[in-house]
Structure 1
């Protein structure tokens, strides 16, 4: 049996937000124990982590990594199917390339899992998947094959429709397409509690997404929600969460004019559950740690941020029974940092996925 002890690390405590000196025992793929000390292994099975910080691997809750390859032109872009009206029949798992060089960047940046969502050009997107960021086949990387359904509102799908058809698509038209897709999914009993992700930036799009959720009595997860602080009408009894960000990206479109890390503090102050995303390659997967640091600068507590990058992200993506915490029985997806992980000068020195060291900073 492969056993490794990460000794005397400052281990993140999800409940208190503190780092406590502990030893984490990894056996095969999983965490076998979290102990105050451990001395029973030979030296070559021990990692002296004194002075280092240990967290669960970060989880990017909206990404196109492997679906839209970096440094590749149209050949590596499998995030958008322009001729498919009913995108909910597609599966992103069929388009993920496990040798996208961005996966190496992910593990080097402490990102061990990602929620893959089709590109925002599609009003009705493909079924989403959650994967580990290391593996030679997609099947090996899968944490959740078909998690939920994705939809997109705003400037990007409007422009994509215009380029394809040479005719305009209004926000009214987008809303109707989403309503029709949801009706069809409900009639076919395909939702069955599956999460619904809706990309939206502008306040009016966010309000429309919430309105549609109330009409169908469905909980939704807003993605991006850039102008959420401007939204005054919020459902009293219809729960929703937000996959926020990325705030570090070029302001290239009108709907991004109010992009600012204060979004994170607004969500926190209004007690809206939220996690973090890079929407790689919109912002690089290497910037997920930066998004957390921007939230810290905006006034969000460290505990909320680190949970949003790990345990809460896993809960949102329904993989918390597999990963997201340093807890006995879960996959040993963890990262050793040379400084506090929200320090912008901190870096991952070792990254583990399913107990295997997939990155080491020499």
Structure 2
């Protein structure tokens, strides 16, 4: 028993020496690393947003039940129209009746006015005659004259009121003729939309063909970076490999109203701002309604850069490993603009420094390294 314990102790001692030796060998192992240098190049910062392709200039005309029933349609699908072209007219019997009543009222006003004017002229002659004829009661005639004059003025006021009422009815009747507000083509006429007062579908859709925009929404953070006139590259998953040019046409100063909602599940709804991107290409293989990805170039500058894989972070600090005299030295650096592949270095390095690319996780400051042959 004692002999077995001695043998086990010797075995453990030998194993310990072997393990210690392996650790020492590992700690003395020289790591092989790849290096790079600062490179001066043009950096482009971009924001990617999603949106919907729409015709740039379009008009949707909805049925308005309070105006009456839809009468004759004056256009058909495919017709070219200009701003002001009549599209259809509402039939409103009540307004037509009111207009006839106003016409009759106006005729009555004019007849009464003409009659009172005749009386006015007659009394004027009698008042003038009373100046030389003592048989006529001048005071009584003047009182009658004043009464006729007052009635004439009241009839004139009634006539003006009738004219104003007729003008109002004429304006309402004019509005019964619905006109195009743009130059374009009649894309669709949906007569079923005029069958129900609760329809949410447009009766007529008009658009200027060949002019497209992408409409979407951006976060409050992106709204600070995206400006009018910035270029954009547009793509669609529906047409892989295709790209189209675009330009930011507008970024709304106000956020979407529907985003200002009550918190959901205790979280405040995110604020978003509408954005519109003008599509520069007129010939597209896609149709309105397609989902579009827009990569908007928000910044472009020349700078000294490193691959993203060369820069590590320690809290708010950025650092790299530089090879010097066969050892890895940790250098704190100042970073600027960042893209998907590169990061701008604004301080902490010189252009001749050998910076380790993809430094191993176990690399420590002062560790011995050897640089791989550069291809």
User: In which range does the TM-score fall when normalised by the shorter chain?
Assistant: under 0.3
- Higher fraction of strand: 2
Query: Which gives a bigger RCO, structure 1 or 2 (Cα 8 Å, sep 6+)?
Result: 2
